[in-house]
Amino acid sequence: MYLYIIEGIDGSGKSTQIQLLKKIIRRLKLQECFVFLYEPTDFDTGKKIRQYLKENRNLKLEEWFILFDKDREKNVQLNILPNQDKIIIMDRYYPSTAAYQAKDLEDVYKIFINSFNKYPKPKRVFYLDIDLKNALERIKKRNHYKETFEKEQELSRILENYEHLKKLFDKYSLNWENISGLNPPYKIAKYIVKKIFSDYKDQNKMV
């Protein structure tokens, strides 16, 4: 399965990359070969998650995990598996659940191993790597967000969780690729597309 995941903390440029990738695919006239998905989804399960996040619901890890797990089950059954013959690019997947919801490294491992055993494995994770200072500056410019100590602590925890996830991906022989989020956006997008095409070429999938 050619499933590719775009990951990164808030301010890493992830949303920009998704839009650029779509633009490049359109220019190449390969829209029929690609499917763009995201989590949380637009199913009722995903809408509930986004609503709870917006309301800053203080749920337990188990409660968050159940919500994300139900949403992912629908996404896999109704979106991912029916498109196995295409290249799927996902805006977030289970690494985001682990990075954002886990309070410590033990939680990260629990979420990772459950998802690793249950869901389709990504061909590659493209992680947009950015430091805390630059991420906060971008968030402030984008949302007119006044930087707070709590936000800095939250992002610091998420960054640490992502670092642990990278080690887990390496341990379980999954492809995790760090890309500097400070590189020019179009340069990053072109690199991702070249990597995807290279995978197809290596497997004799490209015409």
pLDDT digits (tens, 9 = 90+) for 169-202: 999 999 999 999 999 999 999 999 999 999 877 6
Q: Please give the residue range of the domain that contains residue 36.
A: 3-202
Count of structural domains, the chain: 1
Residue 15, in any domain of the structure? yes
For position 122, which CATH number holds? Answer: 3.40.50.300
Residue 88, in any domain of the structure? yes
Q: What letters, b where the CB count within 10 A reaches 16 and e where it falls short, cover 136-148? A: bebbeeeeeeeee
3-state DSSP assignment of residue 126: strand
What contacts 24+ positions apart, CB below 8 Å, involve 58-66? 61/101, 61/102, 61/103, 61/107, 64/97, 64/101, 65/97, 65/101, 65/111, 65/114
pLDDT of residue 149: 54
pLDDT of residue 44: 96
Distance CA 163, CA 76 (A): 26
Residue 207, in any domain of the structure? no
Please give the average per-residue pLDDT across 130-138, as a whole number: 91
pTM of the shown model: 0.92
Residue 39, in any domain of the structure? yes
